Amino acid sequence: MQIEDKKFELYLSEERIQESIKEVANRINEDYKGEKIIFVGVLNGAFMFAADLMKNIALDCEISFVKVSSYKGTSSTGQVHELIGLSTDIKDKHVVILEDIVDSGLTLSKLYSMIDHNSPTSVEVATLLYKPDAFKGKYPPKYVGIEIPNKFIVGYGLDYLEQGRNTRDIYQITE
């Protein structure tokens, strides 16, 4: 697959992605049995993960979204900007942040500071993809679909220059 000036090859199939989402949902369903939780999806990348995860959640729950940005092209800018903030009341509630991918942990740190000052009962992170070799934050995700190496990927909500989000599979950069 070609997007702009970069070439990508198939890395994770739709079947593998969906299988891992069901596993994450099963763990969340078990851990929060009898509890009401609020999912907070991180736009734009996590919209597909959030939608497919919610189809497998068997709990009383709500979902809300925030939008933050830290990437330009294929690398992090080192700064996280809040573009759309949290508008849902999360005081004394269990919150699960939904991320498409966790790499450096910079975005998670920003999200924790956004959410924590609203006094939730608990805050955890569920992510489709996790790059443990790139992680430098203090809040690792509790629910991880697939651990991957520190390579740039696109598809299934993840983008390169805002393109490629609409694929069912995930592709890895080849150059």
Dist CA 33 CA 98 (whole Å): 18
Q: What is the pLDDT of residues 116-175, one digit of tens each?
A: 888 899 999 999 999 999 999 888 999 999 999 999 999 999 999 989 999 999 999 997
The per-residue pLDDT for range 15-73, each reduced to its tens digit, is 999 999 999 999 999 999 999 999 999 988 899 999 999 999 999 999 999 887 654 54
Q: What local confidence, expressed as pLDDT, does residue 17 receive?
A: 98
Cβ–Cβ < 8 Å for 14, 168 = yes
**Does the structural domain 16-147 have CATH classification 3.40.50.2020?**
yes
The pLDDT value recorded for residue 54 is: 98
Structure-token pair, residue 91:
């005081």
Angstrom distances, CA of residue 98 to CA of 38, 92, 111: 10, 19, 11
Domain boundaries along the sequence of the chain:
16-147
- The pLDDT-based confidence of 74 (bands split at 50, 70, 90) is very low
End-to-end alpha-carbon separation of the chain, Å? 12
Q: At which residue do the structure tokens 């809300």 appear?
A: 64
Annotated catalytic residues are: 103
Its sign, for the CA torsion 145, 31, 136, 67, is positive
Per-residue three-class SS string for 1-54: CEECCEEEEEEECHHHHHHHHHHHHHHHHHHCCCCEEEEEEEECCCHHHHHHHH
